[in-house]
């Protein structure tokens, strides 16, 4: 969760609190662009911010900054995170509840709900995965990710971004079985891929399909091998061939060329941080 934002402190000297260490926010400018910052403060007619991309304090005139758009974006992101947290908590509270005995039987006495959706079965319980929308990263953000991701980005490679560093749904079994219950047959095309955590986002990579229509469909080189079985016209079972490593993952149809893709993210185990996140250096004072 981001740190608590301080209230407005007056027109002459307006300051905004820094978010929690290790997170970043978008400081919007009036030309429609934004700077990715870890904190900022408004003093008089100047805005001082700590740039995440350049790891340094910088200053710009207040007249160039759109504070209202910045606050709206923070409020919207906070609302999304709150909703995902509430959905995750509801799943945790119900994790040992027995699903209604109406759908497909995945194990003796354990059945899928009749509702459409994507489910994980860990051997003892059925867990509904929460659908999330991934956005294609723009050229400006792509440049920032290129410095953080290992290896070089290839021509035609698309970067998809999920908000937040971790999924709300956490699995505790390294060999879960997945069930796609969808009349659109999503289970026939869905793949499972690991996700890279970059700063305060999760990143999925894929190779774009040829626009000429002669090339191969969009490829996902990092896709994890799955055994796929159609159990009914609208039901597919996806089984892992090898146990998963702890980390972040997504299930979904990454061959779809839409700009906003529906994915089902999840995390495996809780992964403690191996190093402390350092706070940015304090802003220099304005002593005369």
In order along its 288 residues, the chain shows pLDDT tens digits of 333 333 333 333 333 433 434 467 888 998 989 888 888 899 899 999 998 888 899 999 999 999 898 888 888 888 888 888 888 777 766 655 554 557 899 999 899 998 999 999 998 999 999 998 877 776 555 555 554 555 544 455 677 888 888 999 999 999 999 999 998 888 998 999 999 888 788 888 765 544 334 345 455 557 899 999 999 999 999 999 999 999 999 998 887 665 557 899 999 986 444 444 455 566 565 554
Q: Which residues of 82-106 are buried (b: 16+ CB within 10 A; e: fewer)?
A: eebeeebeebeeeeeeebeeebbeb
Sheet holding 25-28, edge to edge: 25-28, 34-43, 46-51, 56-61
- Whether residues 103 and 168 share a domain: the answer is yes
Name every residue whose Cβ is closer than 8 Å to that of residue 255 and which is 6 or more positions away in sequence. Answer: 189, 209, 217, 218, 220
Q: What is the pLDDT of residue 6?
A: 35
219 occurs within a structural domain: yes
Cα–Cα distances in Å, from 7 out to 4, 13, 14, 69, 119? 9, 12, 9, 16, 42
286 occurs within a structural domain: no
- Whether residues 108 and 51 share a domain: the answer is no
- Whether residues 78 and 104 share a domain: the answer is no
212 occurs within a structural domain: yes
- Whether residues 68 and 101 share a domain: the answer is no
Q: What is the pLDDT of residue 174?
A: 94
Extract the tokens encoding 35. 């700077």
249 occurs within a structural domain: yes
- Whether residues 208 and 240 share a domain: the answer is yes
Contact 238, 121 (CB under 8 A): no
- Whether residues 43 and 108 share a domain: the answer is no
71 occurs within a structural domain: yes
- Whether residues 52 and 107 share a domain: the answer is no
Q: In angstroms, rounded to a whole number, what is the distance separating the alpha carbons of residues 128 and 178?
A: 10
Sign of CA dihedral 49, 83, 89, 197: negative
Q: How many domains does the chain have?
A: 2
Q: What is the pLDDT of residue 225?
A: 94
Q: Which of 93, 126, 152 is the last residue of a domain?
A: 93
278 occurs within a structural domain: no
Q: Which of 43, 60, 93 is the last residue of a domain?
A: 93
64 occurs within a structural domain: yes
Spatial CA neighbour of 234 closest among 188, 282, 284, 166:
188
Q: Which of 75, 93, 111 is the last residue of a domain?
A: 93
- Whether residues 77 and 134 share a domain: the answer is no
Domain hosting 263: range is: 97-268
Q: What is the pLDDT of residue 25?
A: 84
- Whether residues 117 and 244 share a domain: the answer is yes
Name the pTM for this structure: 0.56
């Amino acid at each position: 969760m981001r740190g608590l934002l301080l209230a407005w402190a007056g027109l002459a000297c307006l300051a905004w609190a820094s978010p929690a260490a290790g997170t970043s926010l978008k400081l919007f400018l009036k030309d429609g662009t934004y700077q990715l910052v870890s904190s900022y403060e408004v003093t008089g007619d100047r805005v001082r911010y700590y740039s995440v991309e350049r790891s340094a304090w910088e200053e710009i005139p207040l007249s160039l900054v759109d504070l209202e758009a910045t606050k709206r974006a923070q409020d919207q992101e906070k609302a999304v995170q709150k909703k995902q947290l509430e959905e995750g908590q509801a799943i945790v509270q119900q994790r040992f509840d027995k699903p209604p005995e109406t759908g497909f039987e995945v194990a003796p006495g354990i059945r899928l709900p009749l509702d459409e959706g994507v489910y994980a079965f860990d051997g003892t319980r059925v867990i509904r995965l929460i659908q999330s929308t991934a956005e294609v990263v723009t050229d400006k953000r792509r440049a920032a990710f290129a410095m953080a991701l290992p290896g070089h980005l290839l021509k035609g490679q698309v970067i998809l971004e999920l908000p937040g560093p971790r999924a709300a749904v956490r699995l505790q079994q390294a060999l879960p079985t997945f069930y796609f219950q969808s009349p659109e047959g999503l289970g026939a095309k869905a793949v499972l891929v690991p996700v890279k955590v970059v700063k305060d986002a999760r990143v999925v990579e894929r190779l774009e399909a040829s626009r000429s229509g002669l090339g191969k469909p969009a490829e996902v080189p990092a896709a994890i091998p799955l055994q796929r079985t159609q159990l009914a016209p609208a039901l597919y079972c996806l089984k892992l061939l090898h146990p998963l490593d702890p980390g972040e993952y997504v299930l979904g149809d990454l061959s779809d060329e839409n700009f906003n893709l529906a994915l089902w993210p999840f995390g495996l185990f809780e992964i403690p941080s191996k190093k402390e996140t350092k706070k940015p250096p304090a802003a220099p004072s304005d002593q005369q």
